[in-house]
Amino acid sequence: MVEIIIAMFIVAVGIIGLMSMQPMSWQTAKKADLLGRAAAILEQELEATELIIMNPNNVIPASGTKTVYASGMGASQGTGDVPYTVQTTIVNALSAWTVRVKVTWPGNNRGILESLIVSRQESFRM
């Protein structure tokens, strides 16, 4: 009987310990979700800008800042639709352009940053 009570006490302590870790795991999951979405938005912006610059028939876009929502829609779709700020900087150096994209979101002003060097594909000029 004493062994059963001791075993129940040990199991109860273990369960209480796991329950106390639950809020931290929810916060970590939220941070991972926000970072993953930001990385997808960053990659999409880099690829879109690269394709525009590579085509010699297109005008080089200007640097700028825009807001992108996690839903991918033009406006917020509710309270869980996080707004991401996408800052794109394009610098011309001879016949190559440096594209730098920074994505930030509420609660993280440092965000993530990536850059890419792009040249034009002149052989495709029409």
- Tokens (6 digits) for 28: 């970590």
Q: pLDDT value at position 88?
A: 96
Instruction: Give the chain's domain count.
Output: 1
Q: Which of 85, 92, 86 is nearest to 120 (CA)?
A: 92
Q: pLDDT value at position 52?
A: 92
Q: Domain range holding 80?
A: 2-124
Q: pLDDT value at position 1?
A: 85
Task: Encode pLDDT of 66-91 as tens digits.
Answer: 999 988 777 777 777 889 999 999 99
- What does the alpha-carbon distance between residue 114 and residue 101 come to, in Å, rounded to a whole number? 6
Q: Which of 50, 37, 32, 53 is nearest to 85 (CA)?
A: 37
Q: What are phi and psi of 114, to 5 degrees?
A: -145, 150
Q: pLDDT value at position 23?
A: 87
What angle (nearest 5°) sits at the alpha carbon of residue 122, between those of residues 56 and 91? 55
Task: Encode pLDDT of 3-50 as tens digits.
Answer: 999 999 999 998 988 888 888 989 999 999 999 999 999 999 999 999
Q: Is the dihedral of CA 25, 84, 61, 88 positive or negative?
A: negative
Q: Are 1 and 74 in contact (CB under 8 A)?
A: no
pTM here? 0.79
